[in-house]
A and B are shown apart, each in its own frame.
Chain A
Amino acid sequence: MTSYIDVKNLSKNFEAINAVKEISLQVEQGEVLGFLGPNGAGKSTTMKMITGYLTPSSGAISIAGINILQDPISAQRHIGYLPEGAPAYGEMTTYKYLDFIASIRRIPRKDKKDRINNIIDRINLNSVANRKIEDLSKGYKRRVGLAQAIIHDPNILIMDEPTDGLDPNQKHEIRSLIREMAPKKAIIISTHILEEVDAVCTSTAIIDMGQIIFTGTPRQLAALSRYHDALNIVVKIEDAEKTKKIIGEQSDDSKVEEIYSGNEIRITAPLKNRKPCSDVIQAALSREKIVPREYFFEKGRLDQVFRDLTSSAQDSIKETP
């Protein structure tokens, strides 16, 4: 079976800049790939090549088994694309804009109205259907972009920072929508927001300076954190010294993190060995009559892994096996 999206050794050079270097990716039906990376990493450039907007300098892209370089139009029929910043024809109303897209996408005249109204309902665009897109708020503009991308119910959905700059409610709604569509499609989203990866993605690829430096599930990504499975404990400030001493014996000192807030301290410490060490700590705490306000094990911190992986890519790759 061919993958919905199959990218091999993709590279793109802009004059002197090698924006993308030898990237390979596969996305199957039901998969939501979170494309992560710092600014200028090459996420948008990769997406632009996958959707046929930019011609790669080298490499191959297959969309539902079709080589997009040889037959762009057939490949593009399978794709819905939300470019970065959701560009749209501002002088058009939402309805007319969707109507234009539907015509270009050859949605038959008799189905067109239903299809547009359907999508307007689904994405909650009713209140702005007859307003000019340039007058809409950022959130609505983004939704119009999303509506445009899914109006033909594509197998493949590529979204460049779909929730960038939206308020938490809107973010939540768009994520729900993506999750809802996910089972039938192959989806790539790019994002800077790590919680988004947790919230919607089934797999992630981290790209830095044009190269993929990590691929795996969000869980595997979290596991790279040095705080993965770290003990997280909050105690009163009076107990801080004793607690630190108890934990220090079960942990590697250099990695213990302390955060003071008010009259409490939060200590985060990766333990040498989770279960036995935890038992020892709990026994010691109760001996000292210290009752922690919180006591749990972290899953790992995506933002910290992200920073470690991308700040100096070369070094941290060696560090993490």
Chain B
Amino acid sequence: MNQTIAVFKRELEAYFITPVAYVFIVIFLILNGLCTFYLGDFYERGQADLEPFFELHPWLYMLLIPAVSMRLWSEERRSGTIELLLTLPMSTTSAVIGKFLAAWAFCSVALMGTIPIWLSVNYLGEPDNTVIAAGYIGSLLMAGGFLSVGACISATTNNQVVAFTISFVVCFAFNLSGFPVVLDLFSSWTPQAVLEVISSFSFLSHFESIKKGVIDIRDIIFFGSLMTFWLYLNVVVVELKKGK
């Protein structure tokens, strides 16, 4: 536990030591602002809610989260510090969790930067704040899901660019798998059951109801077990690489 905290603290500080972190947060906020206010027809819709804002997040995360997760393990492999980390008396699981939580905390900080957007809808109208709060929780869960994917992939390579690219593709697939257009592609030749499995993995559909304010336990379980699965895989990858 203390070891996980030590790893968490180190990783989180590492994010904020580099200017990249601030660049990332600024890009995240600008994209959020731009897309919400302009593309999302924020004013024209005449509704005081943040739906267009949350609508964006799966797509924003697909691009930005791999940039956060790519360094988690790749950088350790590149610089050789992984040799240090893995010869310290600590379980791989502690290291995996510590790193993941640090990345998640970093994303939460970025997400908290969007609170002014929330404040401005409250200023402009009278939104249902419980719906918005649910949206934030869902967005955070989804960020965790993407991050766990990215963390695991980052453990497979010593090249951050490779880690980024593969994570991006996988995250993209997770988003797309619920899209009607994509499902149509499959529907002609795959059995209904398989189709349902594919769409059940979609981040979009699990995020859909949460962002409308309905926190369904099944969606929470989905994201929870998804993170558990990918982090477990992350541990396995790190362990397997020792025996390579």
Contacts and interface: CB of A to CB of B under 8 A. Distances in A.
A227 B17 CA distance: 57
Interface string A86-101: 0111111000100011
Interface string B230-244: 000000000000111
Contacts of A83: 80, 83-84, 87
Main secondary structure of the interface of B (DSSP, over half): helix
Contacts of B169: none
B83 A87 contact: yes
A90 B10 CA distance: 12
Given A55-B242, A76-B89, A87-B79, A103 B2 contact: yes
Interface string B1-43: 0110111011001100110000000000000000000000000
A55 B243 contact: yes
B90 interface: yes
A89 B88 contact: no
Interface residues of A, number: 31
B91 interface: yes
B86 interface: yes
Interface residues of B, number: 25
Contact of B81 (A54, A88, A104): A88
Contact of A91 (B5, B17, B87, B90): B17
A106 B10 contact: no
Contacts of A186: none
A51 interface: yes
Interface string B214-244: 0000000000000000000000000000111
Contacts of B13: 92, 96
Given A54-B242, A104-B3, A104-B6, A87 B89 contact: no
A90 to B, nearest CB: 7
A105 interface: yes
B10 A76 contact: no
Interface string A216-233: 000000000000000000
Nearest to B87: A51
B79 A104 contact: no
Interface of A: 14, 48, 51-55, 72-74, 76-77, 79, 81, 83-85, 87-92, 96, 100-101, 103-106, 148
7 contacts: A73-B90, A76-B89, A84-B80, A89-B79, A89-B81, A100-B10, A104-B3
Interface of B: 2-3, 5-7, 9-10, 13-14, 17-18, 79-81, 83-84, 86-91, 242-244
